[in-house]
Amino acid sequence: MALIIEPHLDSGQANWPSPQSISADSRGNFDGQTNELLTLEQSNLTSHQLQVWMGQSLIPEVPIYNLAVALKIHGAVDLVHFGKAFQVLINSSDALRTVIEEIDGVPMQRILATLTYTTSFVDLSSLPDPHARAHNWMLERCNTLLDRQRRLFDSTLIKLAETEFVWCLVVHHLISDSWSFELIYCHMADLYRRSMQGELPDSLKLFPFANYVSHERVQRNSPRHRSSKAYWKEFLSETGDETVFYGKAREKATTHVRRISRDLGPGRTRRLRSVLASVGQQASVLQIFAGILVGYLHCLNGKETYVIGIPLHNRRSKIFKETIAFFPKFSLFVSASATTKRLFPFSPSSRQRCSRRLGTAAMRWPAPISSAPMTLSLIIIHIHSPILPEWRLGSSGFITDTAMRV
């Protein structure tokens, strides 16, 4: 029999401002036809938060922006100290205490002064195959909608055995990103240790996300930002029709996504980097795979121009890198011409050398490439991929290692 303890929530709704407390020029009537810029100026969300809100509002019944990570914990976890540590983190992070309230259709984020929360506890240790049961339980939990007006996260500690636990944390994309999970884990490891030692503070002094919200509003009203936005708006207006595959348009849109991963392995990765070094050009791994993607798409539909959105972590300062919140944006694009230039600044011999050294299974140049070489125009960026830790309990607390994702 499984033991399940669900959380209770003191939402602090009395702290929310009433619609009447919002100035008239801050209100609007967003019905899907309203100009996005008007809504952006009325709302106190960042431009990228607003895009997430709009996407969620289009299909409110589907949790498309739930970010879920399962963290393995090796060792006996004290549920009381774990809960205390997480409560201190909530007290310290304005992002975790943020809720979204719609006022006359305009989304407004509010930071609750207090948010009392108890982490759920699920004990599967006495049941057959607890790992499979935990996986299925987490999948169901990940597909549960978060109430944006109450709280934007869900925390559950799952017991698989006396010394084996999984922490399933689900956070809405409006207040978090993958980088934030790394920060959450680091703070939680420290807070749990301090709680066990009887030194747990009421809160930590963390950098508030509200600082970035103010910074972003100033930046997007600057002449430089307006000029850049006008350029990309004109550029993207010339991208043409929707990309089709095998000459067939999509019959229906869906929110279901299937992620297929392939591990290149250390050997092939080393060969890939060796190829880049031997070419002697300012190429990157991103260019290699983007070039393969564009070449393959051209073989499928013969289009001459492609535009690909590239996600950035957007944490440009040390303070922002240490802030729990949602920062990413899609602001750089890749474009390629399929008929006038070449797919990389590589010579034919360089492309053949790539194929030989990487192996045909890793990189196969489609036939049309040789007769109609292409070029890839790229802005090279550095994307941080945080290592999500796996916790091992030692005498002094958690020891971080690696992690798994739901």
Residues 30/39, Cβ–Cβ less than 8 Å = yes
Under the banding of pLDDT at 50, 70 and 90, the label for residue 229 is: confident
Report how far residue 276's alpha carbon sits from residue 294's, in angstroms, rounded to the nearest whole number. Answer: 18
Q: Which two tokens stand for residue 300?
A: 């499928």
Supply the pTM of this predicted model.
0.72
Report how far residue 304's alpha carbon sits from residue 302's, in angstroms, rounded to the nearest whole number. Answer: 6
Can you give the pLDDT at residue 179? 92
How many residues in the chain? 406
Tell me the domains of the chain and their CATH numbers: 3-13+21-216+386-400 (3.30.559.10)
Tracing tokens 């019944």 back to the chain, one arrives at 61
Instruction: Measure the CA dihedral 107/111/114/116, to 10°.
Output: 50
Under the banding of pLDDT at 50, 70 and 90, the label for residue 226 is: confident
How many helices (H) and strands (E) the chain has is answered by 12, 14
Residues 100/148, Cβ–Cβ less than 8 Å = yes
Q: Which of 35-44, 79-88, 160-169, 379-388 is least confident?
A: 379-388
CA 319 vs CA 314, 315, 404: distances in Å: 12, 8, 27
Query: Does position 98 have pLDDT exceeding 90, yes or no?
Result: yes
Higher pLDDT, 129 or 254: 129
Q: Which two tokens stand for residue 39?
A: 């809504």
Report how far residue 129's alpha carbon sits from residue 151's, in angstroms, rounded to the nearest whole number. Answer: 32
Report how far residue 365's alpha carbon sits from residue 361's, in angstroms, rounded to the nearest whole number. Answer: 11
Query: Does position 168 have pLDDT exceeding 90, yes or no?
Result: yes
Q: Which of 236-245, 369-378, 395-404 is least confident?
A: 369-378
Q: Which of 194-208, 293-307, 346-360 is least confident?
A: 346-360
Report how far residue 309's alpha carbon sits from residue 232's, in angstroms, rounded to the nearest whole number. Answer: 12
Q: Which two tokens stand for residue 307?
A: 């535009």
Residues 123/161, Cβ–Cβ less than 8 Å = no
Burial of 181 (C-beta count, 10 Å sphere; 0-12/13-18/19+): buried
Amino acid residing at 187? H
Burial of 384 (C-beta count, 10 Å sphere; 0-12/13-18/19+): exposed
Report how far residue 294's alpha carbon sits from residue 306's, in angstroms, rounded to the nearest whole number. Answer: 7
Can you give the pLDDT at residue 109? 95
Higher pLDDT, 239 or 316: 316
Higher pLDDT, 175 or 143: 175
Can you give the pLDDT at residue 322? 94
